[in-house]
Amino acid sequence: MPFGRKPGPDGGDVDYNRVYRELIAPAIDAAGLTAFRADEEQRAGSILTDMFQELLIADLVVADLSIANPNVWYELGVRHALRARGVVLLFGGKAPSAFDLYTDRKLRYGLAGDGPDPASLKDDIGKLAEMITATMESWHGRKISPVYSHLDSLQEPDWKTLRVGDVKEFWEAYERWGGRIELAQQEGRTADLLVLADEGPVAAFRAEAWIRAGIALRKSGQFALALDYLAKGLAIEPEHLDAQRETGMCLQRLALKGIPGYSAGRARQHYETVLKDHEGDVETWALLGRVDKDAWVAAWRRTGSDAATMRADAGDEDALLRAAIRSYRRAYCADPGHYFSGINALTLMHLAAHLGVDGSEPHARDTMAGAVRFAAENKVDGEQSYWARVTLGDLEVLTGTPETVKRAYKEAVAVPGVDWFSLNSSRDQLLLLRDLGFQPDAVAAGLAVFDRQLARTTPPEAAWQPRQVLIFSGHMVDAPTRATKRFPAEAEPIAAAAIEGALKDLDAGPDDLALCQAAAGGDLLFLEACQRRGVRCQVLLPFFEPEFIDRSVLPSTDGPNWRKRYYAATTAPQTSVRIMPVELGPLPDDVDPFERCNLWLLYSGLALGVAKVRFIALWNGAGGDGPGGTQHLMDEVKRLTGRVTWLDTRDLFRDLLPPP
């Protein structure tokens, strides 16, 4: 947009800095984005270079075309050339003549004097915010750039790898953020990953982080929440193949758990949709095969069935068996080096023959066995050495003798570093064959190898998992100088009794985990009550401890005594303390530290299991409407679990507060 005062479309001067400050910036903020102009960059250097970088990486460009300013039209052209979407056009006063040729949708705002018209300003802000929101929500709908809309085959550059000129600050900040994302993922700190993902500098990076978060949640068994994060990433990057595959895995897992609304058919349909655009993707074909295989196994492997019944039922479910064979064979044909899909197809083909099902001819099985052996033998010295060697053992189960089975599996279990989970997974496959009476001598020989190795391998200790996760947010005790009472010191016994009552109603105890900050007042009362009940506690602090005490403990009435209680509570047994600047890095611009910490509390609970989360609020119902505020936490937990206990201080402290 133009900078400073310029002759407007109606002849008089217009202060376009006012237009930006009073109209555009508030609308962008209302749409949940952060406004930025290249002239706001204070570092030394070329504003042109800075502008190119911003036009490339910005989620959205708002262009004010009120006057025939060549710089504005040039910058708009650069954006149209670089990106297919993410542009909003507006103008003030009468439409510029260029719009006679430019047919895209644009917003008109009112002008009066040298700035926005006060009579229409509120309405103009609302309309612009709605237009921005609609543009972002339809990110992968119609292309906005006339360059990309008219040149159908033109592809956007891989702009995440483009680093313009000397502009290093943005990319250095991205690399620091990405490094924290990577570390949180490696260390299994899913809650930290969720907070950091929301703080990505631009939409594409947030999408990448949300997808990583979804994968981490899937691996930890939080399949429904994983779907939410994968969907957020796919809304921005709908062609992200890993995210599409991960979505299918979550759908399949939820179906296997019997969660209402999820089924094998839904997972199968998802994979079939992915394959329409990625017909040769071996991983998706293999995942589709797993859906059909699991559906087939579930159809005959029922509790209480004897061996004869299972074998008869397995043969009767021949349609599912053939479907699984087709998918695994299709995967293997797409990549003959993918021995995983090959051995699965081959095993199911042998089982089909064993059950009398028309699934393959002997010649086809023999041919595939040779190909799978060749593929696996070429991988025995790689990163997947164990699985390649296990595949060779699986082949011996199908075509060899008990002695060759034993020899091959011994080679596999001797691979250095093989873990208990991998050994147990291989054993489970043999148990499936045993249930169907397939090659009993060979299967028994294989089971003996794995049973012996598992007996020598220490199983992983099951990580402690809480029965409930109790999240607390509440008011501090008033400072002596507070003008309007909210939590007067004399209300402490009332608040303590209410918190104790809430914990009693939830039957809180040693099997539960409490998450809170540790401010004087509600936080410490909650923490002390949980400790008396034997609840494990984790304190999350938005600042380093000295600053937190100065800001959230000492200012309260009787601050020194609250400080003593703070130290006693945070050093008590079964209580740990995490410091936000250490775990999550520096506070992003324009983010409130207490709200960021509240989000950290919420995500820490959700990462342990959505259904486990219980939220207790000691709150008067006022303020805190933004992300991380008490209202936001309450609304999120209500949406996800409905398990909210609101201790309304307007009622609790009625006799101690001034009339409303």
473-519, pLDDT tens digit by residue? 999 999 999 988 999 999 999 999 999 999 999 999 999 999 999 99
150 CB contacts (<8 Å, ≥6 apart)? Answer: none
Q: Which residue has the tokens 């796919």?
A: 234
CATH number (1.10.10.10, 3.30.930.20, 3.30.420.140, 3.40.50.450) of 469-656 reads: 3.40.50.450
How many C-beta neighbours within 10 Å does residue 443 have? 22
What are phi and psi for residue 478, nearest 5 degrees? -60, 145
pLDDT score recorded for residue 5: 82
Q: How far is CA 263 from the centre of its chain?
A: 22
How many C-beta neighbours within 10 Å does residue 105 have? 10
CATH number (3.40.50.450, 3.30.43.10, 3.40.630.30, 2.40.37.10) of 5-153 reads: 3.40.50.450
| pLDDT surpasses 60 at 165 | no
| pLDDT surpasses 80 at 392 | yes
Q: Which residue has the tokens 């250490």?
A: 582
- Three-state secondary-structure class, residue 268: helix
- Alpha-carbon gap, residue 595 to 649, rounded angstroms: 20
Q: What is the CATH topology of the domain spanning 218-228+237-456?
A: 1.25.40
pLDDT score recorded for residue 460: 77
pLDDT score recorded for residue 33: 82
pLDDT score recorded for residue 98: 57
- Alpha-carbon gap, residue 182 to 257, rounded angstroms: 30
Rounded to whole angstroms, what are the CA distances from 13 to 4, 18, 63?
A: 10, 12, 19
Q: Is 117 in contact with 90 (CB distance < 8 Å)? A: no
pTM score, two decimals? 0.82
| pLDDT surpasses 50 at 44 | no
Residues of the chain with CATH 1.25.40: 218-228+237-456
Percent of the chain at pLDDT > 90 equals 62
User: Exposure string (b/e) for 62-77, b if CB count within 10 Å is 16 or more?
Assistant: bbbbbbebeebeebbe
Poorest-pLDDT segment among 72-76, 230-234, 429-433: 72-76
The larger pLDDT score, comparing residue 268 to residue 53, is at: 268
40 CB contacts (<8 Å, ≥6 apart)? Answer: none
- Alpha-carbon gap, residue 273 to 470, rounded angstroms: 40
> Angle, nearest 10°, between helix axes 264-277 and 241-256?
170
Question: Averaged over 338-348, what is the pLDDT?
Answer: 96
Strand partners for 616? 472, 645
Residues of the chain with CATH 3.40.50.450: 5-153, 469-656
The C-alpha torsion from 97 through 102 and 105 to 106, rounded to 10°, is -40
119-134, pLDDT tens digit by residue? 999 999 999 999 988 8
Q: Which residue has the tokens 């595959």?
A: 245
78-128, pLDDT tens digit by residue? 888 888 888 898 888 776 655 544 556 688 899 888 889 899 999 999 999
User: For the chain, how many residues are written?
Assistant: 660
